[in-house]
């Protein structure tokens, strides 16, 4: 857990280190979190998941190929040996997505600031009005790790052969189709056999991650079988993967998530409760 997360106090001790880069991965959408701390960590650099994406794919903020990711990240001044501290202004939301992107691209020196910018402020950290965009081009090189991501075809195969468990981070009402999807034109429900663990249950006091193994057990997850995480558009699924990583379990994120599955006429959908 200490390798995946970093406390505000420890992060403050690294502010100004030549090999440490702070990345602001703040992102939201209509209906998503809106209230958060103002400003940014001094010297931090912005990372926009709507910019660092596969532009050929119509789905939202899909993971780009290694070459495209390398180009974007080098432009941020990030090097192959950079130690990354990723945060967002809400506590813990989109920072997990940025963490996962770097993990999927083979950069293991990557940590999430536990509690995000609000925890930084609460610990007495200084705040800047703007990000640092003056850095020189870095020498980062992505090394894609296919085990960190899965596509629709892979998910369909896992459903057929039972090779992996699917864990959905959306709220229960969306999972069970009691409310319509917020994105127009999408069917409601969940993937066959999927389990449900709303990501909000993993967020504790002060927006800090609370990766309790009992929560995963209560969702019906077998600790000995592989896990695929999913959500609405591949953002909060990464919070589940972050928590699993803290517990020593690597998972694969279904990048297209419900944005892809729910918008297709040929994917099988279930409603109601998850299987017990």
- Strands 227-230, 165-168: pairing is parallel
Tallying the residues shown for the chain, one arrives at 276
143 a catalytic residue: no
3-state secondary structure of 24: strand
> Which residues make Cβ contacts (< 8 Å) with residue 136, sequence separation at least 6?
77
CA pair distance 60, 259, nearest whole angstrom: 8
C-beta separation of 144 from 67 below 8 A:
no
CA pair distance 231, 237, nearest whole angstrom: 5
C-beta separation of 171 from 200 below 8 A:
yes
Catalytic residue among 40, 143, 231, 238: 231
Could you give the dihedral angle defined by the CA atoms of residues 179, 182, 187 and 189, in that order, rounded to the nearest 10 degrees?
-50
CA pair distance 121, 220, nearest whole angstrom: 37
C-beta separation of 107 from 138 below 8 A:
no
- Facing residues of 98 across strands? none
Q: Which are the catalytic amino acids?
A: 231
């Amino acid at each position: 857990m200490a390798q995946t997360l970093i406390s505000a106090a420890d992060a403050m001790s690294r502010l100004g280190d030549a090999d440490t880069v702070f990345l602001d991965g703040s992102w939201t959408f209509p209906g998503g979190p809106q209230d958060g701390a103002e400003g940014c960590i001094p010297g931090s650099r912005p990372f926009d998941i709507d910019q660092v994406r596969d532009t050929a794919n119509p789905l939202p903020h899909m993971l780009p190929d290694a070459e495209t990711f390398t180009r974007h990240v080098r432009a941020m001044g990030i090097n192959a040996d950079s130690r990354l501290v990723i945060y967002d202004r809400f506590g813990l939301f989109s920072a997990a997505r940025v963490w996962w992107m770097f993990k999927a691209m083979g950069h293991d020196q990557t940590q999430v600031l536990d509690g995000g910018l609000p925890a930084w402020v609460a610990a007495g950290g200084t705040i800047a009005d703007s990000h640092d965009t003056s850095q020189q081009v870095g020498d980062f090189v992505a090394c894609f790790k296919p085990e960190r991501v899965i596509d629709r075809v892979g998910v369909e195969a896992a459903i057929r052969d039972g090779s992996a468990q699917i864990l959905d981070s959306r709220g229960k009402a969306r999972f069970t189709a009691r409310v319509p999807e917020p994105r127009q034109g999408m069917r409601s429900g969940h993937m066959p056999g999927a389990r449900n663990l709303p990501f909000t249950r993993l967020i504790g006091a002060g927006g800090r991650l609370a990766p309790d193994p009992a929560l995963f057990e209560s969702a019906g997850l077998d600790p000995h079988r592989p896990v695929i995480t999913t959500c609405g558009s591949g953002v909060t699924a990464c919070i589940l993967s972050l928590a699993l990583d803290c517990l020593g379990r690597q998972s694969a994120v279904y990048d297209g998530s419900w944005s892809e599955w729910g918008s297709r006429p040929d994917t099988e959908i279930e409603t109601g409760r998850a299987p017990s």
